[in-house]
Structure 1
Amino acid sequence: MPLYRIEAVPKHYAWGSKTRLQAMFHLQPGEQRNARLAEMWFSGHPQSPSPLTLSNGEQHDLLSEIHADPVAMVGEQASQEFGPVMPYLFKIISAEIPLSLQVHPVDFEARAGFNRENDLNIALDAPERSFKDSLAKNEMLVALEPFSASVGFAPLAEQLRLLRAVDHPIARNMVHALTARTFHVGQPPQEYAACDVMMPMSSIAWPDSRRRIFRAFHVAITAPAVEAGSLETALRHTLENLPELGRSQGALYNAIEAAQAFETDASVLCLLMMNPVELAEGESVYIPAGLPHAYIHGTAAEIMTNSDNVLRAGMTVKHKDIANLLHSLNCQPAAPIDPSSSAFAALAIQDLITYRPKISEYMLAYGRVDNASGAWPIAGRLIQRYGELMQKYGPQRLQLPSNGPRVLLCTEGSLQCTTARRCVQLTQGEAVFIPAEDGHVEIGVNTKAGTDSRDSQGSYLFASTPF
Structure 2
Amino acid sequence: MTSKVFSIVGGVQSYDWGKIGSKSKAAQFASKGGIPNFTIDNFKPYAELWMGTHPTVPSHLASTNETLSSYIASSPESLIGPNVLNAFPSAQKGNLPFLFKILAIGKALSIQAHPHKELAEKLHAERPDLYKDPNHKPEMAIALTPFTALCGFRPPPQIATFLSVVPEFASLIPPTILTSFQAVSSLPPSNPELKAALRDVFAALMTAPAEEVKNRLSMLVGRYKSGGWVEEEEDVKDWAVKLDEQFPSDIGVFCVYVLNIVKLKPGEAIFLGAGEPHAYLEGDIVETMATSDNVLRAGLTPKVRDVPNLVSSLTYTAADPSHHIVYPTASPKSPNTLIYDPPIPEFVVSKTNLGGGDTDALESVEGPSIAIVTGGSAKIGELDVAEGSVVFVGAGEEVAVQAGNAGLEVFRAFVEA
TM-score (norm 2): 0.85
Query: Structure 1: which amino acid aligns with 2:24?
Result: R
Q: Please list the CA deviations of residues 385-404 of structure 1 after superposition, one character each: whole Å capped at 9, or x if unmatched.
A: xxxxxxxxxxxxx9844231
The residue that corresponds to 2:65 in the other structure is: 59
Seen in structure 2, the aligned counterparts of structure 1 residues 237 and 401 have a Cα distance that, compared at 3 Å, is farther
Give yes or no for contact 1:13–1:37 (8 Å, CA) kept in 2: yes
The residue that corresponds to 1:434 in the other structure is: 393
Give yes or no for contact 1:89–1:307 (8 Å, CA) kept in 2: yes
The residue that corresponds to 2:348 in the other structure is: 363
The residue that corresponds to 1:231 in the other structure is: 217
Unaligned runs of 5+ in 2: 182-189
C-alpha deviation, 1:110, in angstroms: 0.8
C-alpha deviation, 1:33, in angstroms: 4.3
Give yes or no for contact 2:378–2:402 (8 Å, CA) kept in 1: yes
Aligned match for 2:126, one of 116, 119, 143: 116
Is residue 93 of structure 2 the alignment partner of residue 94 of structure 1?
A: no
The residue that corresponds to 1:4 in the other structure is: 6
Unaligned runs of 5+ in 1: 124-128, 183-204, 374-397, 447-452
The residue that corresponds to 1:147 in the other structure is: 147
Query: Counterpart of 2:180 in 1: which secondary structure?
Result: coil
Supply the distance in 2 between the matched residues of 1:65 and 1:97 (Cα, whole angstroms): 37
Q: Please list the CA deviations of residues 184-242 of structure 1 after superposition, one character each: whole Å capped at 9, or x if unmatched.
A: xxxxxxxxxxxxxxxxxxxxx96222222112212222223347686265157359444
Give yes or no for contact 1:366–1:460 (8 Å, CA) kept in 2: yes
Q: CA RMSD in A?
A: 2.7
The 5 Å alignment of 1:153-192 reads: 153-168=153-168, 170-174=169-173, 176=175, 179-181=178-180
The residue that corresponds to 1:346 in the other structure is: 328
Seen in structure 2, the aligned counterparts of structure 1 residues 177 and 466 have a Cα distance that, compared at 3 Å, is farther
C-alpha deviation, 1:45, in angstroms: 1.1
C-alpha deviation, 1:436, in angstroms: 1.5
Query: Counterpart of 2:173 in 1: which secondary structure?
Result: helix
The residue that corresponds to 2:370 in the other structure is: 407
Query: Counterpart of 1:436 in 2: which secondary structure?
Result: coil
Seen in structure 2, the aligned counterparts of structure 1 residues 280 and 48 have a Cα distance that, compared at 3 Å, is same
Supply the distance in 1 between the matched residues of 2:161 and 2:401 (Cα, whole angstroms): 50
The 5 Å alignment of 1:276-287 reads: 276-287=261-272
Query: Counterpart of 1:268 in 2: which secondary structure?
Result: helix
Supply the distance in 1 between the matched residues of 2:269 and 2:222 (Cα, whole angstroms): 29
Seen in structure 2, the aligned counterparts of structure 1 residues 347 and 133 have a Cα distance that, compared at 3 Å, is same
Q: Please list the CA deviations of residues 228-272 of structure 1 after superposition, one character each: whole Å capped at 9, or x if unmatched.
A: 686265157359444443xx6444443332222111112220221
The residue that corresponds to 1:20 in the other structure is: 24
Seen in structure 2, the aligned counterparts of structure 1 residues 149 and 59 have a Cα distance that, compared at 3 Å, is same
Q: How many residues align?
A: 389
Give yes or no for contact 1:406–1:463 (8 Å, CA) kept in 2: yes
Is residue 284 of structure 2 the alignment partner of residue 299 of structure 1?
A: yes
Supply the distance in 1 between the matched residues of 2:202 and 2:387 (Cα, whole angstroms): 42
TM-score (norm 1): 0.77
C-alpha deviation, 1:178, in angstroms: 5.0
Give yes or no for contact 1:65–1:73 (8 Å, CA) kept in 2: no
C-alpha deviation, 1:32, in angstroms: 4.9
The residue that corresponds to 2:402 in the other structure is: 444
Is residue 414 of structure 2 the alignment partner of residue 464 of structure 1?
A: yes
Q: Please list the CA deviations of residues 103-139 of structure 1 after superposition, one character each: whole Å capped at 9, or x if unmatched.
A: 100121111111222xxxx54xxxxx1x221111110
The residue that corresponds to 1:82 in the other structure is: 88
Seen in structure 2, the aligned counterparts of structure 1 residues 335 and 177 have a Cα distance that, compared at 3 Å, is farther
Supply the distance in 2 between the matched residues of 1:98 and 1:171 (Cα, whole angstroms): 24
Give yes or no for contact 1:181–1:208 (8 Å, CA) kept in 2: no
Identity of aligned residues (%): 27
Supply the distance in 2 between the matched residues of 1:236 and 1:442 (Cα, whole angstroms): 59
Give yes or no for contact 2:102–2:287 (8 Å, CA) kept in 1: yes
Seen in structure 2, the aligned counterparts of structure 1 residues 364 and 230 have a Cα distance that, compared at 3 Å, is same
Seen in structure 2, the aligned counterparts of structure 1 residues 155 and 79 have a Cα distance that, compared at 3 Å, is same
Seen in structure 2, the aligned counterparts of structure 1 residues 68 and 136 have a Cα distance that, compared at 3 Å, is same
Supply the distance in 1 between the matched residues of 2:235 and 2:67 (Cα, whole angstroms): 42
